Structure 1
Amino acid sequence: MKLGILGGTFDPVHVGHLIVALHLREALSLEKMLFVLAANPWHKTGHEITGVADRLAMLELALQGNPRFEVSRVDIERPGPTYSVDTIADLRLAYGPEATFLFFVGIDSLATLPTWHKPARLLETCQVVAMRRQGYHHVPWAELERELPDIRRRVRVVDVPQIDISSTDIRERVASGHSIRYLVPDAVHEYIESHCLYKKRGAE
């Protein structure tokens, strides 16, 4: 079984996430795409993140009706900071030794891979796939290989659609009173409105 792993805070999940996930699943013939919701991502320490319950509810609403898309709670059920290498280890226990995992990262994140928790172990336990958007060509392979020998052979680069939507922009649009219709699935839009998410304090 070939499974894709797309992690994130999904604060909120938007149509860009879904379009890219669909493209990757079809292009790489994945059995399923696992959306791994982050509980306490170490690289966003200090950034105010919406509560897990709300982010989980929105993600489940966004993925409903697509049996190839699945929410994974592996990170939100583990106490403490979330590290990718631990996520892979837990998913291996859940899906068995025969499963093949493709772990997706933005290509700009490759430059920081040597600073991740146990990066060499991560490369051994899954296929890291770097998502490259239009106009991004440079990858510092020489510098990376000084830290992680053989990384170029272990990392696969794939092109993905350029979707100019971000969760940050969506939060800012809600806070300023602008519409986010068509940027998120209808069910997510309704959830954000009914739960007064992302509004400025005092504006609820």
Structure 2
Amino acid sequence: MSKKSRIGLLGGTFDPPHWGHLWLAELARVQLNLDKVLFLPVGDPVHKQGQIITAVFHRLQMISLAIQDNPCFVLDTTDCTRPAPHTTVSLLPLLQQSHPEADFWLLIGGDSLRDLPTWVEPGRLIQHCRLGVLPRPGAEIDWADLSTAVPNIKTAVDMLDGPTLSISATAIRRWVKNGNEPRYLLPTAVAEYIHEKHLYLG
């Protein structure tokens, strides 16, 4: 019987993709012994209804530029090309169809783990994948409350160990909108694309 592949799943709007995304993906790849990490941009995020999201085309281009130097990072458009609603729990069966011989790790920050009870069907989510979690300063996990809300959550979590990068896409967009350069906040190729396409200028 062939050995199962180990795949990390990194979802988000990636508006824009930055060093924090790449660091989480690489840290998880090494510590969880992943064969690859799928970058899964969402088309219409349910938790950002009413917010202005950059066109999918631009976000796909930026992700491609951001991950071009790492052969273990792969852009997967499943989540942005399927019909709404775009929830993680409904995405996983589609990925399992594409990768039937894979074990999945959903890669998230400690703040997302803390807020997992607010996700759609978190109990069913952890039946389809494990969680690779990078702790975040200020995002304390109350395991008792979390275990009550999402039974068996502790056995589904692999905590990652490494420095955290306090970079947010929201802060980058605001920084660019105010006329500043985002150099060193994200890959050079992404910064150049933002400048060339006049993104985030309002």
TM-score (norm 2): 0.92
Name 1:161's counterpart in structure 2: 163
Q: How does 1:110-129 map to 2 (within 5 A)?
A: 110-129=113-132
Name 1:152's counterpart in structure 2: 154
Amino acid paired to 2:192: E
Q: 2:62 aligns with which of 51, 58, 62?
A: 58
Secondary structure, counterpart of 1:58 in structure 2: helix
Amino acid paired to 1:65: D
CA-atom RMSD, angstroms? 1.5
Q: How does 1:1-204 map to 2 (within 5 A)?
A: 1-96=5-100, 98-133=101-136, 135-136=137-138, 138-200=140-202
Secondary structure, counterpart of 1:93 in structure 2: helix
Q: Distance in 2 between matches of 1:107 and 1:137?
A: 6
Deviation sequence 1:105-161 (CA, Å, 0-9, x none) = 22122233223222211111100222213x457311111222222221222222342
**Aligned pair in 2 of structure 1 residues 156, 27: CA closer, same or farther (>3 Å)?**
closer
**Aligned pair in 2 of structure 1 residues 66, 111: CA closer, same or farther (>3 Å)?**
closer
Most deviating of 64-73 and 143-152: 143-152
Secondary structure, counterpart of 2:160 in structure 1: strand
Q: Is the 8 A contact 1:24 1:160 kept in 2?
A: no
Q: Is the 8 A contact 2:110 2:140 kept in 1?
A: no
- Extract unaligned runs of 5+ from structure 2: none
Q: Is the 8 A contact 2:28 2:107 kept in 1?
A: no
Q: Is the 8 A contact 1:40 1:81 kept in 2?
A: yes
Q: Is the 8 A contact 1:60 1:71 kept in 2?
A: yes
**Aligned pair in 2 of structure 1 residues 159, 37: CA closer, same or farther (>3 Å)?**
same
**Aligned pair in 2 of structure 1 residues 18, 111: CA closer, same or farther (>3 Å)?**
closer
Aligned residues: 198
Most deviating of 6-15 and 153-162: 153-162
* Structure 1 segments of 4+ aligned residues over 2 angstroms from their partners: 135-138
Secondary structure, counterpart of 2:113 in structure 1: helix
**Aligned pair in 2 of structure 1 residues 151, 62: CA closer, same or farther (>3 Å)?**
same
Q: Distance in 2 between matches of 1:171 and 1:74?
A: 25
Deviation sequence 1:47-105 (CA, Å, 0-9, x none) = 11111011011101111132100011011111112111122111100011x20000012
Q: Distance in 1 between matches of 2:176 and 2:62?
A: 15
Q: Is the 8 A contact 2:114 2:139 kept in 1?
A: no
**Aligned pair in 2 of structure 1 residues 147, 5: CA closer, same or farther (>3 Å)?**
same
**Aligned pair in 2 of structure 1 residues 160, 136: CA closer, same or farther (>3 Å)?**
farther
Q: Distance in 2 between matches of 1:90 and 1:43?
A: 21
